[in-house]
């Protein structure tokens, strides 16, 4: 499943914007995506963990994908989060995401499953385009064992564990596109030749994220400092920080 990476550089794990009454504001979300692309973002992930995917209906996910795909240039891939508790559910979300205009999907491993190979096999059968696995034990433990990565029918992996040793292990044994979801490892990813980063902090500091990936140590330090504050209250902290810069909504559904 090797080939050109889905993207190289920094992608954004996009926040999902809501109106004051809590209804989805897909146009505003798409507008934010377009602004971030204009500031150097190379990929837009919608309906991911930062995008409050668990609080979205299937129809809202479709609307988000369609709106963002229409708002950003064709060469910027739109990645849709389609992880679910079962392979059947994830496969259905995957089919819908591609039908709505997604260029690829990111699939979080299921909670409580030590061997996710059957799960990813089921999702792969429903995916007409690139499928990326997602290792994030903080959100869905236990995650994906490194030694199983070569057996997965995926073209890439996002690792949000923040474990530098694991990232280097993955870089050594995994032939697919490797992306970090950890702000602290953006520079390391660039230094070891990984494909890129898919980070929530790119909602508010896309320029420093891109600079850190390119090897700017000062930018990496600034990026980590910004993220420490924004990530302390997830996902509301990222929304407040994005609002300070872009005037976007701070309304969240998670925890509401």
Task: Express each pLDDT in 179-232 by its tens digit.
Answer: 999 999 999 999 999 999 999 999 999 999 999 999 999 999 999 999 999 999
Distances from the Cα of 100 to the Cα of 31, 60, 139, 216, angstroms = 18, 11, 26, 37
Residue 120 catalytic? no
**pTM for the structure as a whole:** 0.97
The CATH number for 139's domain is 3.20.20.70
Give the pLDDT band of residue 141 (cuts 50, 70, 90): very high
- pLDDT confidence of 256, banded at 50, 70, 90? low
Phi, psi of 160 (to 5 degrees): -105, 20
Rounded CA separation 77/45 (Å): 9
Q: 144 falls in which pLDDT band (50, 70, 90)?
A: very high
Please tell me the distance from the alpha carbon of residue 191 to that of residue 20, in angstroms, as a whole number: 42
Residue 2 lies in a domain: no
Query: Dihedrals φ, ψ of 46, to 5°?
Result: -110, 155
* Residue 255 is assigned to a structural domain of this protein: no
Per-residue confidence band for 2, with pLDDT thresholds at 50, 70 and 90 = low
Tell me the binding residues for pyruvate: 50
pLDDT band with cut points at 50, 70 and 90 for residue 252? very high
pLDDT band, very low/low/confident/very high, at 1 (cuts 50, 70, 90): very low
Residue 254, in any domain of the structure: no
Residue 240, in any domain of the structure:
yes
Choose the catalytic residue: 119, 120, 125, 134: 134
239 has catalytic annotation: no
Place of tokens 């950890």: 182
Specify binding-site residues. Answer: 50
Residue 67 domain flag: yes
Burial class (CB in 10 A: 0-12, 13-18, 19+), 85: middle
107 is a domain residue: yes
What pLDDT shows up at residue 95? 98
Q: Give the ranges where the chain is alpha helix by DSSP (H).
A: 26-38, 58-71, 87-100, 117-126, 164-173, 186-191, 206-213, 217-230, 236-246
Q: What is the dihedral of CA 169, 124, 62, 104, to 10 degrees?
A: 50
Number of domains comprising the chain: 1
Domain that holds residue 109: 9-246
Q: Is residue 253 part of a domain?
A: no
3-state DSSP assignment of residue 196: strand
C-alpha span between 249 and 232 (Å, rounded) = 18
- In angstroms, what CA-CA distances link 249 with 29, 68, 227? 9, 17, 19
In a domain, 4, yes or no: no
Catalytic residue among 119, 120, 158, 238: 158
C-alpha–C-alpha distance, residues 200 and 127, integer Å: 25
pLDDT tens for 56-86 read 999 999 999 999 999 999 999 999 999 999 9
């Amino acid at each position: 499943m090797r080939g050109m990476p889905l993207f190289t550089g920094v992608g954004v794990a996009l926040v999902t914007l809501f109106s004051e009454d809590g209804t989805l504001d897909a146009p505003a979300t798409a507008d934010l995506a377009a602004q971030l692309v204009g500031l150097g973002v190379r990929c837009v992930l919608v309906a991911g963990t930062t995008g409050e995917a668990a609080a979205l209906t299937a129809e809202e996910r479709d609307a988000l994908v369609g709106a963002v795909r229409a708002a950003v240039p064709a060469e910027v891939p739109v990645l849709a989060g389609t992880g679910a508790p079962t392979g059947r559910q994830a496969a259905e979300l995957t089919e819908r995401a591609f039908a709505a205009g997604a260029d690829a999907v990111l699939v979080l491993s299921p909670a409580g499953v030590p061997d996710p190979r059957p799960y990813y096999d089921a999702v792969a059968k429903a995916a007409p385009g690139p499928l990326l696995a997602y290792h994030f034990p903080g959100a869905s433990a236990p995650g994906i064992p490194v030694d199983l990565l070569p057996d997965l029918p995926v073209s890439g992996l996002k690792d949000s564990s923040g474990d530098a040793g694991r990232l280097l292990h993955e870089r050594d044994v995994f032939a697919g596109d490797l992306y970090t979801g950890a702000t602290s490892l953006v520079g390391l990813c660039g230094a070891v030749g990984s494909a890129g980063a898919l980070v929530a902090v790119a909602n508010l500091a896309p320029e420093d994220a891109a600079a850190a990936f390119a090897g700017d140590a000062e930018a990496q330090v600034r990026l980590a400092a910004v993220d420490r504050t924004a990530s302390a209250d997830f996902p509301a902290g990222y929304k407040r920080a994005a609002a300070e810069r872009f005037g976007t909504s701070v309304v969240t559904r998670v925890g509401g």
